[in-house]
Amino acid sequence: MASKAATKRLTREYAAIGKNPPPYITAHPSESNILEWHYIITGPEETPYHGGQYWGTLMFPPNYPFAPPAIRMHTPSGRFQPSTRLCLSISDFHPKSFNPAWEVSTILIGLLSFMTSEEMTTGSVSMTEAERKQHAERSRWWNSTGGGSHASAKIAQKGNIKAGDGGLKFKSEWPDVDKENWEWMSKNSIDLTTGFAPPPADTNSCGRQLGIGQGSGQTQAVVDAVVQQRNAGRSWISRNKVLIFVSFVLVYTALARWLGEGDGDRTGL
């Protein structure tokens, strides 16, 4: 149970963070326990986490602010082990180094700063940029479906908030965000079992061949090449039969006319 000093301090900080939330961060205490805070970090631009939705908790001790909270991030990020206590100078791993002047916003800003660095500590993991981007793309799905466990949800145990609960805990703490996530998944046809969007439709499966259609000159060159290949094995007569036929008709007509004129001259004698 929270002390009076902790309750007073956290109530004041909740009002302050609501009026002036830090960039990329939103947070609130649980309705049932003021010592249990839930936060969402939105991945900043120009980082592998851009657009990601990272949900986590701060578990404050009853004597806060004279001792720091336990810090966890439940959403897989490629930076931290999900639902694992993080060893930071602002967490319960180092109570002697914690400054009572630090507030919830200070703690979360410090967490975001550490997240976007490459420094390693207890609870952190090392992954590629591509892997972290993939986690960011699937983060909304993971939060609201419990990593695809929504079809067979189980009540999560203490200290393992997210595992197998089908997104129930996330929904109870972030109902509006959860609704937005489901609408986003429906709009983008997200596979609810995997969190992946369908591949783009192949609107031109055949594709362009030999560059045809990319320019009239190139098209004509292709046509000329086809004609040359077609004519390569044919005889001169076969290739020029039209010309021969026309020539034959002209010769025949001229000969008939000449013979006709000769007959007329003999009749006149």
Which positions are annotated as active-site residues? 87
Side chain identity, residue 77 = S
- Cα R_g (the chain), whole angstroms: 39
Half-sphere exposure (Cβ direction) of 234: Cα atoms closer than 13 Å: 11
Q: How far apart are CA 227 and CA 225, in angstroms?
A: 5
| DSSP assigned state of 27 | E
Distance of CA 38 to the CA centre of its chain: 25
Q: How far apart are CA 210 and CA 219, in angstroms?
A: 9
Residues forming a β-bridge with 37: 29, 58
Half-sphere exposure (Cβ direction) of 56: Cα atoms closer than 13 Å: 26
| DSSP assigned state of 68 | P
Side chain identity, residue 145 = T
